[in-house]
Amino acid sequence: MPTLNLPEPDGAMAPFTTSLPREFPTRANRPFNRIAYSAAHVVADPRSDADPWLEAAIDWDATITYRLGLYDLGLGVAEAMDTAQRGMGLDWPASQELIRRSLDAARHISGARIACGAGTDHLEPSAELTLDDVIRAYEEQVTFVEGQGGRIILMASRALAACAKTPDDYAQVYDRILAGVREPVLIHWLGEMFDPALSGYWGHADHMQAMEVCLDVLASNADKIDGIKISLLDKDKEIAMRRRLPDGVRMYTGDDFNYAELIAGDALGYSDALLGIFDAIAPAASAALDAFAADDENTFHDILAPTVPLSRHIFGAPTRFYKTGVVFMAWLNGHQDHFVMVGGQQSARSLLHLAELFRLADAAGLLRDPHMAAARMRTILALHGVEG
């Protein structure tokens, strides 16, 4: 197995020998007994002459091909979400094209599960906005997704967070949007650790107070809601909310720190999944869910346990830069031939961070071709002036 020198936190270099990868199926063997969406990344086009800080240049073929692989593994696709760098390089025009292409590809896949993000990211956040401005922005995106035949994930709104004065303002906006949707949607409560502009969402800085507002919105609109994804990286808050959901409303875990135990659940319930980490660990996630559906919970945890340290590292603070780790994993595993991201976000994590990611991915058995992964890691080291 290949050995390379990797940097340590103290500045020293230490040899690291890769391990044999774990064997994971390339296709799902049976239907899962949990709904599982992977929020999917986009593949940038490194040959475009577009300014990466100003325009989203996307390799559409590679982007869609990656999604087809997720479907093969039995995972659904949560499209045009924050994992696709929504609001961090992927603007609304590019998101529209992504949604169009992704929905078209899904129509040709039997049983493909896809839902698409609709938000207000084409509206510049400002305290001067009105709630009607926010409502119109939401309606524009919802209308587009529904017009393409897509299912809605109602994303949290930076614009609403900027202009809302009270919790009632949130209720007014969500009640209005939910009243007009064609079919039940997923609500996404994205915590401030993922996006600082969403601090104080639902009108409270305290998550438990915010949860009361959110639960009231869910109860008032339960017939228009399939479920809620909360991304607070706190399993106790998710479980507390899960136990109070209205009948028929699902909890979709967005907890990239504690997903295994939340999906497995307890005597009082469980969470389905809508996770960014499932992009990076898709083969392991599929194999674990397959085992769980076969009543083999020990194998489920055996597969996922070593992925948790990797996920906690990828989603470590500042959490909003987790997309860099997701795309780095895709490059290491040959799902794309470069490590370039829209918005230039490949620069958002340090060499030390990427080196530790490499070690943890190896420990989880997720470097499917260690020779290729090691060669690509050496390329990153060389770009940083380090001999690997």
Q: Where are the domains of the chain?
A: 3-383
Task: Give the sign of the dihedral formed by CA 195, CA 320, CA 140, CA 54.
Answer: positive
Amino acid at 239: I
Report the C-alpha dihedral over residues 180, 91, 197, 261, rounded to 10 degrees: 80
Task: Give the sign of the dihedral formed by CA 253, CA 246, CA 118, CA 74.
Answer: positive
Report the C-alpha dihedral over residues 272, 319, 232, 362, rounded to 10 degrees: 40
Quick one: pLDDT at residue 283?
Answer: 98
Q: Beta partners for 186? A: 153, 227
Instruction: Find all residues with CB under 8 Å of 54, minimum gap 6, and list them.
Output: none
Architecture, CATH, for domain 3-383: Alpha-Beta Barrel (3.20)
Report, as ranges of residue numbers, the positions in the chain whose pLDDT lies below 50. Answer: none
Quick one: pLDDT at residue 11?
Answer: 84
Q: State the burial class of residue 383 (Cβ atoms within 10 Å of its Cβ: 0-12, 13-18, 19+).
A: exposed
Quick one: pLDDT at residue 151?
Answer: 98
Q: Beta partners for 58? A: 44
Q: What is the pTM of this model?
A: 0.97
Do β-strands 272-275 and 36-39 pair in parallel, antiparallel, or remain unpaired?
Answer: parallel
